[in-house]
Amino acid sequence: MRLTGSVIRPPSEADSILLQVTLGCSHNKCAFCGAYIDKPFRVVPEAAVDEALAFARDYGHQSRRVFLCDGDAMVLSTNRLTRLLTRIRERLPFVSRISAYANARSLGPKSVEELAALRGLGLHTLYMGLETGDQETLSAMNKADTVADIVAAGQKVRRAGLRLSVTVLLGLAGTRRWRIHAERTGAALSEMDPAQAAALTLMLVPGTPLHADWKAGRFDLPHARGMLSELSTMLAHTHLSRGLFLANHASNFLPLALRLPRDKDHALSLIEAALSGRIPLRPDHVRAL
């Protein structure tokens, strides 16, 4: 598939057909995010999406999954998404599962019923970035949505019967507010109750405002032990009815993949063992992305 610029997708979409229906992110101002620094947001014309679908049908690998790129596919109107999902079903009848990133702004105008109708057309999983449950930290990061809006949007996704995956960022509050960040993030995740929560470790990206703050001494990134303490506190405050909690991204110091609530106590004891030096951590050169 011909793609415009570099494409970012969740690790679990590694085998998916990548279909660009928007480019970049319509916000593109989060202080920590370098994903689309050089890629102005735009909607890909329907004719170009049709061409990409024809290419995928004729030459692509016959994956059963499609991931709608880039960072903001759900910003499209419900009518446009309905046409898009219908076209995917027509052109790629072997596809049974379609996923995308989503945020509170793009989901806000869409009702539960509209989202449920999109689910009926093959939409399966929405990946949302909560980043933190601490509003002060979220505002400092210039995220467009509030914590309350993100939580409400996530709950709406679940009510529509869609699978919800939520990402949070260890280290985002620096060394000053790490505990509040960890506790409130666990609480917000509990309210959203996703099928999957993923805790990534903040990596400072050159060219972003947060990287500039760090260089200027205005932001302190927690070291490995601080990140682990944060993970432990966050996990202790996360109460999912039934879901995966993943901290196994390449950025993490101690790879963990657990089912909640079943594995929580075991995971907390593993983190404790790592904090006391009984389990080795991933070295920085292995974590580097």
Element (H, E) at 258: strand 257-260
Q: Does 129 bind ligand SF4 (CB under 6 A)?
A: yes
Q: How far is the CB of 123 from ligand SF4 (least distance, A)?
A: 19
Alpha-carbon distances, residue 56 vs 5, 22, 88, 289 (angstroms): 18, 17, 10, 29
Among 18, 33, 69, 151, binds ligand SF4 (CB under 6 A): 33
Q: Does 35 bind ligand SF4 (CB under 6 A)?
A: yes
From 27-35, 42-50, 155-163, 218-226, span contacting ligand SF4 (CB under 6 A): 27-35
Provide CB contacts within 8 A for 152, sequence distance 6+: 104
Give the span between the Cα atoms of 137 and 221, in whole angstroms. Answer: 14
Two structure tokens written together for 139: 């505002």
Among 25, 56, 198, 271, binds ligand SF4 (CB under 6 A): 25
Give the span between the Cα atoms of 157 and 245, in whole angstroms. Answer: 18
HSE, CB side, 13 Å, CA atoms: give it for residue 247.
Answer: 27
Complex with ligand SF4: residue 36 or 178, whichever CB lies closer: 36
Complex with ligand SF4: residue 56 or 192, whichever CB lies closer: 192
Q: How far is the CB of 195 from ligand SF4 (least distance, A)?
A: 20
Neighbour-count burial for 20-54, b at 16+ CB within 10 Å, e otherwise: bbbbbbbbbebbbbebbeebebebbeeeebeebbe
Give the span between the Cα atoms of 258 and 237, in whole angstroms. Answer: 15
Complex with ligand SF4: residue 134 or 258, whichever CB lies closer: 134
Complex with ligand SF4: residue 35 or 147, whichever CB lies closer: 35
Q: Does 202 bind ligand SF4 (CB under 6 A)?
A: no
Q: Does 172 bind ligand SF4 (CB under 6 A)?
A: no
Burial of residue 97, with CB atoms counted within 10 A of its CB: 0-12 exposed, 13-18 middle, 19 or more buried = middle
Q: Does 30 bind ligand SF4 (CB under 6 A)?
A: yes
Q: Does 162 bind ligand SF4 (CB under 6 A)?
A: no
Complex with ligand SF4: residue 32 or 260, whichever CB lies closer: 32
Positions in the binding site for ligand SF4 (CB under 6 A): 25, 27-30, 33, 35, 71, 103, 129
